[in-house]
């Protein structure tokens, strides 16, 4: 009698390196601690090649690669070496064993997914439902892949944009720091101006600074004014006192801001010292009081206004210093 071997369908996967087998599950939690590994573990199906008597540097008789690049699989007949490129076959009862690529090619044909091979109605139904689920699954897979690809691209673009922004901010910080240093230098150099010739060079320097903005140009003006005072003070007609310098500053402000009448500056730093209490008394000089009364009287004659304002002017003319202030002591 003759017999023909029944065709069997097996699952198979070609193995090249650790983790290639779909059931290797290289990120399964450790059995003892239950912790999830941070890097890939040894494959569950194809394990690392280990042999007490065979060095990992030894070359394989079968494939010529060093043993380090091999795997090891437990089969029904005991353990077996897996070479790079070997197929791992899962047999009809779930047993696994390696097969050399040449033998595999000669023995097996790829089962096509669209091949319907049914003997009974149930088998046909099963095959058709498998095909339908596959057809439903494929577009979903494609959609998922596209979505992941898109997300990866967006993430990359976002990262690049962020890096570019950070670069610009860093550059601006650098410029700002340089600018701050330059301005600090102006104030230092302003104090060192010793002649009108030096002053001219100084003014040209601060005015022609290449990175001027809304704020730095005002620093240039102030440094220029300080340098002017220094240079003028060094002239043969200069040599002013601290009091004169204060008077110059006060009058500069009066002229620049067109302040009408007396005014005063208050340095709150003086509040730190008890001996300066007199600077914070709410009093005005006799001259200031005279000026105020004259102004109020003039306003009453020539200017109209809100009744409260008129009454205020009248009370000044009548002799009341506003806001509870008094006259300087003699």
For the purposes of burial, counting CB atoms within 10 Å of the CB of 85, is it exposed (0-12), middle (13-18) or buried (19 or more)?
A: middle
What is the distance between the alpha carbons of residues 15 and 88, in angstroms, rounded to a whole number? 7
Nearest distance in Å: CB 87, Zn ion: 14
For the purposes of burial, counting CB atoms within 10 Å of the CB of 323, is it exposed (0-12), middle (13-18) or buried (19 or more)?
A: exposed
Nearest distance in Å: CB 15, Zn ion: 11
Q: Is 59 helix (H, G, I), strand (E, B) or coil?
A: strand
CB 224 within 8 A of CB 200: no
Site string for Zn ion, 275-304 (x = CB under 5 A): ------------------------------
List residues bridging with 79 in a β-sheet. 74
CB 127 within 8 A of CB 119: no
Per CB under 5 A, which region of 43-51, 58-66, 207-215, 300-308 contacts Zn ion? 58-66
Per CB under 5 A, which region of 79-87, 93-101, 108-116, 157-165 contacts Zn ion? 79-87
Nearest distance in Å: CB 70, Zn ion: 5
Per CB under 5 A, which region of 28-36, 81-89, 169-177, 282-290 contacts Zn ion? 81-89
Per CB under 5 A, which region of 54-62, 187-195, 205-213, 259-267 contacts Zn ion? 54-62
Asked if 63 interacts with Zn ion (CB under 5 A), we say: yes
Q: How many CB atoms lie within 10 A of CB 103?
A: 11
What is the distance between the alpha carbons of residues 93 and 78, in angstroms, rounded to a whole number? 16
Size of the site for Zn ion (CB under 5 A): 4
Asked if 131 interacts with Zn ion (CB under 5 A), we say: no
Q: Which of 40, 62, 133, 196 lies at the binding interface for Zn ion (CB under 5 A)? A: 62
Q: How many helices (H) and strands (E) does the chain have?
A: 7, 8
Q: Which of 45, 73, 83, 292 lies at the binding interface for Zn ion (CB under 5 A)? A: 83
The residues that touch Zn ion, with contacts defined as CB under 5 A, are 60, 62-63, 83
């Amino acid at each position: 009698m003759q017999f023909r071997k029944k065709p069997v369908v097996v699952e198979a996967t070609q193995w090249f390196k650790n983790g290639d087998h779909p059931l290797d599950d290289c990120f399964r939690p450790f059995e003892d601690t239950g912790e999830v590994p941070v890097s890939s573990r040894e494959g569950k199906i194809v394990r690392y090649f280990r042999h007490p008597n065979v060095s990992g540097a030894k070359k394989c008789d079968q494939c010529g690669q060093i043993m380090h690049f091999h795997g090891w699989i437990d089969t029904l007949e005991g353990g077996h070496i897996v070479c790079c490129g070997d197929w791992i076959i899962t047999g009809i009862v779930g047993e696994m064993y390696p097969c050399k690529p040449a033998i595999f090619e000669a023995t097996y044909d790829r089962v096509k997914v669209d091949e319907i091979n049914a003997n009974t109605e149930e088998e046909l139904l099963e095959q058709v439902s498998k095909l339908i689920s596959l057809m439903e699954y494929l577009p979903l897979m494609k959609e998922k892949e596209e979505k992941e690809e898109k997300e990866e691209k967006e993430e990359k673009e976002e990262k690049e944009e962020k890096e570019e922004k950070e670069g610009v901010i860093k550059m601006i910080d650098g410029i700002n720091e340089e600018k701050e240093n330059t301005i600090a230098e102006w104030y230092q150099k302003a104090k060192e101006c010793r002649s009108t010739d030096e002053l001219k060079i100084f003014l040209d320097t601060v005015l022609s600074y290449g990175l001027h903005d809304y704020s730095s140009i005002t620093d240039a003006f102030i440094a220029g004014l300080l340098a002017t005072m220094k240079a003028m003070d060094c002239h043969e007609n200069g040599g002013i006192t601290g009091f004169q310098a204060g008077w110059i500053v006060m009058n500069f402000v009066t002229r620049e801001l067109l302040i009408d009448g007396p005014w005063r500056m208050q340095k709150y730093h003086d509040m730190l010292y008890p001996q300066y209490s007199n600077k914070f008394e709410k009093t005005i000089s006799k001259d200031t009081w005279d000026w105020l009364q004259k102004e109020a009287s003039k306003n009453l004659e020539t200017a109209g206004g809100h009744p409260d304002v008129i009454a205020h002017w009248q009370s000044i003319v009548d002799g009341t210093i506003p806001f509870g202030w008094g006259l300087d002591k003699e």
